Amino acid sequence: MRLPRFEYLQPRTLEEACFFLAEHAGQAKVMAGGTDLLVELKKRRAARPQYVVGLRSIPDLDTVRFEAGVGLRVGSMATFAKLVRAAVVREKFPMLYEAARIFSRPQVRHGGTLVGNLCNASPGADGVPPLLALQAKARVVSVRGDRLVEAEQFCVGPFQTVLDPTEIVAELIIPEPPPHSGWSYQRATKRTAEDEALAVVAVFLGFGDGNRSVSQGRIALASVAPTPMRARRAEALIQGKHLEGFWPKRQEIWQLAR
């Protein structure tokens, strides 16, 4: 199936990209990796834009770097494959590393971006639950300036976000997990690991009381609701709990999930 006709705009700076979006407000779409947008355009499921603003030529948008006191900064052009290769992700953000490592298939990991996965706002976005569990924020830019949006508030409906047509997500900012914390990322599919997920869960646990009780518990889900979401009632059940004898082994949880 052929792509619809559009004019491709290739800004050299983020400011220029914002100008293009403002100039063609409501008629332009932003493209990072393109793994979602191009498929949607081919299938005629997305609104047909007259302009596509590509971010590939803008320097430094593919960075993955850690900043003390701030956390991990993931640029809008940073692919899942780059997250997997980044030592700081593997060492300090292992849940995000695991989600990126098993995301889709190799071709998509090398083209698709974590920011794009969030901005597509699919109910089954595999990369979004870790962002919710780790309390990530998106830095959104436009000709009007910058603003920060919590990942939990970003998706407002199936394939709908809080962004207006003139805004771009420049980067994600993910706080460093505190000491004495744990995590789990699980993904259930119909058949193979590359299939669309039936359910995705990301769990973050921070421990207090001599590392015995849960001081922070965040559980994020995808493929179970119109948007990726936090399981607030489940979080409340484990808050303050001593997990010895309360929490089944990880292998048991996975068998129940399957």
Q: Are 27 and 51 in contact (CB under 8 A)?
A: yes
Up-side HSE of residue 187: CA atoms within 13 Å toward CB? 23
Instruction: Give me the CATH topology for the region 181-257.
Output: Enolase-like; domain 1 (3.30.390)
| Domain ranges within the chain, ordered by starting residue | 181-257
Residues facing 127 on adjacent strands: none
- pLDDT for 189: 85
- pLDDT for 233: 93
Distance CA(157)–CA(120), nearest Å, equals: 11
Q: Is this prediction's pTM over 0.75? A: yes
Distance CA(46)–CA(41), nearest Å, equals: 6
Q: What one-letter code names the amino acid at 135? A: Q
- pLDDT for 244: 67
Distance CA(193)–CA(88), nearest Å, equals: 25
Token digits of residue 211: 């590392």
Could you tell me which residues come within 8 angstroms of residue 222 by beta carbon, excluding any fewer than 6 positions away?
Answer: 123, 124, 125, 126, 128, 129, 197, 199, 200, 228, 229
- pLDDT for 2: 76
- Beta 137-142 vs 168-174: how paired, if at all? antiparallel
Mean pLDDT by 10 residues, the chain (258 residues): 86 98 95 84 73 95 96 98 98 97 92 95 95 98 98 97 97 95 91 78 88 89 96 92 61 39
Using alpha carbons, select from 49, 35, 72 the residue that is nearest to residue 173: 72
Token digits of residue 122: 């699919």
Distance CA(101)–CA(108), nearest Å, equals: 11
